[in-house]
Amino acid sequence: MPRTHIELDESIERLSILDAEGNVDKERDPDINRELLLKLYRAMVLGRRFDERLLALQRQGRIGTFPPISGQEAAHLGAVAVLQPEDWMVPAFRETAAEVWRGRSLESVILGNAGFNEAAALAPPGPNLPVAVPVGSQMLHAVGLGWAARYRGKDQVVLTFFGDGATSEGDFHEAMNFAGVYQAPVIFVCQNNQWAISIPRHAQTRSATIAQKALAYGMPGIQVDGNDVLAVYAAVAEAAARARAGNGPTLVECETYRMKMHTTADDPKRYRTDEEVEGWRRKDPILRFETYLKRRRLLTKAKIEAVDAEVREAIQTAVDAAETRMASLGDPIDMFDHAYAEMTPAIAAHREEFLAETAAAAEEGSDA
Ligand SMILES: Cc1ncc(C[n+]2csc(CCOP(=O)(O)OP(=O)(O)O)c2C)c(N)n1
Ligand SMILES: [Mg+2]
């Protein structure tokens, strides 16, 4: 029997529209209106400034551990900006700016990072899932939502985020396979930020790209410059149109970089070089978008300063509100209230035990 070749009529594209110097490929520039362009710019600046403020709060011991997003603003905001209000957003944990875009308050983010259960409430209620810390688990939820939307004949698409590290989880492969088989209207957006804590991208997979994994599951895959907000928007808009037309899922790999630590409990200097970080600093997503907007006369120096001042004020207001709220919360007994809508007998027993133990400890303390 001869050996033959099975021709696969598929290849992987890489899309880049706005380069690191802010030069644009005019033919590929997606037609984003001025209002949305400026809304995106403000959201990116807010994301960056909020990260800086959260880091200061963490270092002052006013909140707990959190995962910074700096450097990845274009990758998740360019994607989420494509969605309609009735579409689902299913995040991992490094998409804070996208959550805020979808209506989550800064106050809720601060409260969550300070460890308060109250931040888990979905506010405003809508088609957004909360952050998923178990790596990769959210992709399966996204496919379930997408499949349900298709089954019910709803005009809804689902966008889910995950990292490069999450593609090593079985959940990723099950989600991709199921979405392909059932043509679920799901947009898989991988924020490939080159690292999964201290594991570099090349140790995560032998594949040349993450995008090409789509081919095995019978769906289109595309790699984009994830620090180019126009390219991310264009690729995700194409994927959303495909999903809405009943033509199934797409994998969009956004190549980006985590400029800060994995979480505030991590020291990235132990596993990556300053040169590497510096190289990516030159590809900053906000600076190149700023240049683009200035050249289009949509931004001036005065307007840039005004946006900066306005977002700083919004952040300060949120910090004040969150700290006032925290002062009225924080009794550890509250943790038992949030596990189930109705307390189970086992949880009720734990609660009683906890009350008895804390009372005994207080008694002991007063005797001493
Ligand atoms: C199932 C599971 N395993 C391990 C962890 C610990 N953990 C948290 S984030 C992370 C790395 C994730 O890397 P990636 O998917 O690239 O996302 P990134 O943190 O870079 O945004 C790991 C191993 C976890 N949260 N869940
Ligand atoms: Mg990563």
Is residue 1 domain-resident?
no
Residue 9's pLDDT is 66
Which residues share a beta bridge with 195?
A: 200
333: confidence class by pLDDT, cuts 50, 70, 90: confident
**What size, in residues, is the chain?**
368
Report CA(166)–ligand 1 centroid distance (Å): 7
User: 342 and 322 in one domain?
Assistant: no
* pLDDT above 70: residue 366: no
User: 247 and 176 in one domain?
Assistant: yes
Distance, first Cα to last Cα, the chain: 88
Is residue 45 domain-resident?
yes
* 271 assigned to active site: yes
Q: Is the CB of 133 under 6 A from ligand 1?
A: yes
Q: Residues 195, 201, 203, 204: what is their CA dihedral angle, to the nearest 10 degrees?
A: 90
User: 344 and 261 in one domain?
Assistant: no
Closest-lying ligand 1 atom to the alpha carbon of residue 137: 1
Residue 174's pLDDT is 98
pLDDT tens figures, 181-216: 999 999 999 999 999 999 999 999 999 999 999 999
DSSP 93-128: SS-HHHHHHTT--HHHHHHHHTT-GGGGS-SS-SSB
Which residue type occupies 246? Answer: G
**Angstrom distance (rounded) from CA 86 to CA 102:** 11
Q: Which of 76, 84, 63, 53 is nearest to 131 (CA)?
A: 76
**Of these residues, 94, 150, 242, 258, which one is catalytic?**
258
**Angstrom distance (rounded) from CA 15 to CA 361:** 61
Domain encompassing residue 238: 13-330
Which residue type occupies 295? Answer: R
pLDDT tens figures, 277-305: 999 999 999 999 999 999 999 999 999 99
Q: Is the link from the previous residue into 268 a cis peptide, with omega within 30 of 0?
A: no
Pair of tokens at residue 11: 């290849």
pTM value surpassing 0.85: yes
**What's the number of domains the chain is made of?**
2
Residue 15 has what DSSP assignment? E
Residue 208 sits in a domain of what CATH number? 3.40.50.970
Which residues share a beta bridge with 163?
A: 191
Is residue 4 domain-resident?
no
